[in-house]
Structure 1
Amino acid sequence: MDDLIRIPCVMMRGGTSKGPFFLSRDLPADPVERDRLLIEIMGSGHPLQIDGLGGGNSLTSKVAIVGPSSRPEADVDYLFAQVKVLERSVDTAPNCGNMLSAVGPFAIEAGLVLPTGDETVIKVHNVNTGKIIDARIQTPGGAIAYQGEAAIDGVPGKAAPVYLAFRDAIGAKTGRLLPSGKATDVILGLEVTLLDGATPVVIITAEDMGYSGSEPAAAFDADAAFMARLEEIRREAGRLMGMGDVSQSVLPKPVLIGAPASGGDLAVRYFTPANCHTALATTGAVSLGLAATIPTGLVGRRFPELSLPATLAFEHPTGELRVRVEKAIGDNSPTVSVMRTTRRLFEGAALVRKDA
């Protein structure tokens, strides 16, 4: 195999996403070279990513790059890369909270962090947003536990829980919770909330777009007129949020909200943005948790009696995702926590052709 380059990697599921995990030292330091390599590894440019490790879906075409922390207050650095499926391009603007849930276990098994008893808290510096998230990992007897009794919708079976606390989630990309300075704005005649929490989102009432917010993901994907209008709203939202031309970026993410249909607190449909997410992004759920604390925003209006701490259940196409919203000790700023699960799927090396 002299014509192939071997790059050590571990395939992991994190929450409702999965992809290869790499140590930063094993990839090129130059972003252009690194991204070109990731495109080849994932097989982008084909709907099935047939010549790579990607799964032909945005949720399975993700990469995590982990290494020693560049900040003294954190334990590890985590750079998330969204590798496009059809386009041969990589977006490192967003964070992915689902993939984040696998960062702690990967870091421990890679020797970057030592376990500290039956539970280990790892402070993860997300390089994409500059934020630090606490990941609480189960390490009974000083060893990673993947098996357990926790379950999350969108993933079959049970596993050990991973608790993520987004203690400083406000302003991931713009530095402000409300980038436009207002709780609501009007885009194309529709009232929206532009919010930058763990990820920038444009929140829209589903009924204003002709939906209830409880439809299956495929129903939105099949509605070409709806998707075109949603993209138009998203691009204008990016401009109003001070993000400029976002036509080549996945940020901000559109989110439809509606009345709950299955006993939760809010129906949510999250877009990636080219498709409707079959579940709900962790960073999107965290942002909605923060949005609930703004009484005059579209989400906050639905929780007029909200008092912290509170647990909110967001219904998504394959179940629900619960978030815990509470006040941080000291400054009383809202902290949002979620529970995810993870699993180590495969370990070995990604093979790349030298002539690529």
Structure 2
Amino acid sequence: IKLKIYNKNTGSSVNSTFCIENGTVKYAGDTLLDGIQRKYSPIELDFGNAIGLATGKVFPTGSKIDTICGIDTTCIDAAMPIIIIRSIDLGLTGLESKQEIDDNIDLKSKLLKIRLQAGILMGFDNVKDMAIPKICIFTHPSDGGTVAARYIDPIFCHPQFGITAGLALATAAKIPGTNINEYLKPDNNIEKFIIEHPSGTLPLTLNIKIDNDAIFLNKAANITTAKKIFNGILYAE
């Protein structure tokens, strides 16, 4: 069954497709996600054309590459506003563990400065106390994925990778002229995009159409699972 979910934060809709059994959600299944201990029933979340939801532009700075604090960055708003940085430009391999990144004081200081300046360029003014934009550090994959990346939220490395940040990273990778596209040179005919992260992989499905400067996401989806976390009763008047 399909359910359209309204995202109040962005004013957009997410199409959720999940399994029903005997009139209720089916939780048991064979889908196992990295970082989750058990298998559950799959749920597809399609964020659709999630371009410019927070800023109104796919590239809110007006450029595909901006040099901030001496580092080339790509600032993109697709499902979520993120700042993309090549790991090599930060003196990293891109395969560091969460702990290695969290313990790197000099790195965190540099990322904070980049984030504050990028936030102004992206139209957010002071982002010191804001949850966005996030930072994504990437390199070539090491285990069969499309890219190896680390998700910084906002200065600590996440043990996994956020879905919306992953979709933004995948979108940037498909657009010529971005730092990640120039570095990875991915096959734009392949819709599957797999991000290697500290806990495993995040598989995404991305169908993007580029017509000159117009960018449209026909599909931007991820598979999650139906894990019951609580029971409750909702009363409505």
2:66 & 2:220 partners in 1: Cα distance? 25
> What is the deviation of 1:348?
5.9
> What is the deviation of 1:305?
5.2
> What is the deviation of 1:312?
1.1
Amino acid at match of 2:216: S
Task: Please give the per-residue CA displacement for 1:40-93, whole angstroms capped at 9, x wherever unaligned.
Answer: xxxxxxxxxxxxxxxxxxxxxxxxxxxxxxxxxxxxxxxxxxxxxxxxxxxxxx
Q: Residues 228, 325 of structure 1: CA spacing in aligned structure 2 closer, same or farther, 3 A cutoff?
A: same
1:339 & 1:305 partners in 2: Cα distance? 21
Pairing 1:204-283 to 2, within 5 Å after superposition:
204-283=85-164
Amino acid at match of 1:255: C
* Contact 2:147/2:196, CA 8 A, preserved across alignment: yes
1:318 & 1:244 partners in 2: Cα distance? 33
User: How well do the aligned residues superpose, as a CA RMSD in angstroms?
Assistant: 1.8
What is the aligned counterpart of 2:221 among 334, 337, 340? 337
> What is the deviation of 1:306?
2.3
What is the aligned counterpart of 2:23 among 132, 139, 142? 142
* Contact 1:183/1:294, CA 8 A, preserved across alignment: no
> What is the deviation of 1:213?
1.0
> What is the deviation of 1:304?
3.0
Give 4+ residue runs of structure 1 displaced > 6 Å after superposition: none
* Contact 1:309/1:324, CA 8 A, preserved across alignment: no
**TM-score (normalised: structure 1):** 0.61
Q: Indicate whether 1:186 and 2:67 are aligned.
A: yes
Count residues with an aligned counterpart.
Answer: 228
1:184 & 1:274 partners in 2: Cα distance? 21
Q: 2:8 maps to which residue? A: 127
Q: 2:198 maps to which residue? A: 317
Consecutive unaligned residues of structure 1, counting only runs of 5 or more, are 1-119, 350-356
Task: Please give the per-residue CA displacement for 1:161-202, whole angstroms capped at 9, x wherever unaligned.
Answer: 110111121112101110011110000011000001111000
> What is the deviation of 1:308?
3.6
1:317 & 1:305 partners in 2: Cα distance? 22
> What is the deviation of 1:340?
0.7
* Contact 1:174/1:241, CA 8 A, preserved across alignment: yes
2:23 & 2:96 partners in 1: Cα distance? 44
> What is the deviation of 1:302?
3.7
Task: Please give the per-residue CA displacement for 1:217-274, whole angstroms capped at 9, x wherever unaligned.
Answer: 1111111111111111011110010111101102100110111112211011001113
User: SS where residue 231 of structure 1 aligns?
Assistant: helix
Task: Please give the per-residue CA displacement for 1:105-139, whole angstroms capped at 9, x wherever unaligned.
Answer: xxxxxxxxxxxxxxx11111100011111011111
Pairing 1:1-356 to 2, within 5 Å after superposition:
120-304=1-185, 306-327=187-208, 333-334=216-217, 335-347=219-231
* Contact 1:170/1:196, CA 8 A, preserved across alignment: yes
* Contact 1:309/1:327, CA 8 A, preserved across alignment: no
User: SS where residue 320 of structure 1 aligns?
Assistant: strand
* Contact 1:161/1:340, CA 8 A, preserved across alignment: yes
* Contact 1:184/1:193, CA 8 A, preserved across alignment: yes
Q: What fraction of aligned residue pairs are identical, expressed as a percent? A: 30
2:34 & 2:53 partners in 1: Cα distance? 26
2:125 & 2:91 partners in 1: Cα distance? 28
**TM-score (normalised: structure 2):** 0.91
> What is the deviation of 1:142?
2.3
Select the structure of larger CA radius of gyration. Answer: 1
Return the structure number with greater relative CO, CA threshold 8 A, min gap 6: 2
User: SS where residue 263 of structure 1 aligns?
Assistant: coil
Amino acid at match of 2:223: M
Amino acid at match of 1:240: L
1:340 & 1:135 partners in 2: Cα distance? 10
Amino acid at match of 1:223: N
1:127 & 1:308 partners in 2: Cα distance? 33
Q: Residues 261, 309 of structure 1: CA spacing in aligned structure 2 closer, same or farther, 3 A cutoff?
A: closer
1:124 & 1:302 partners in 2: Cα distance? 35
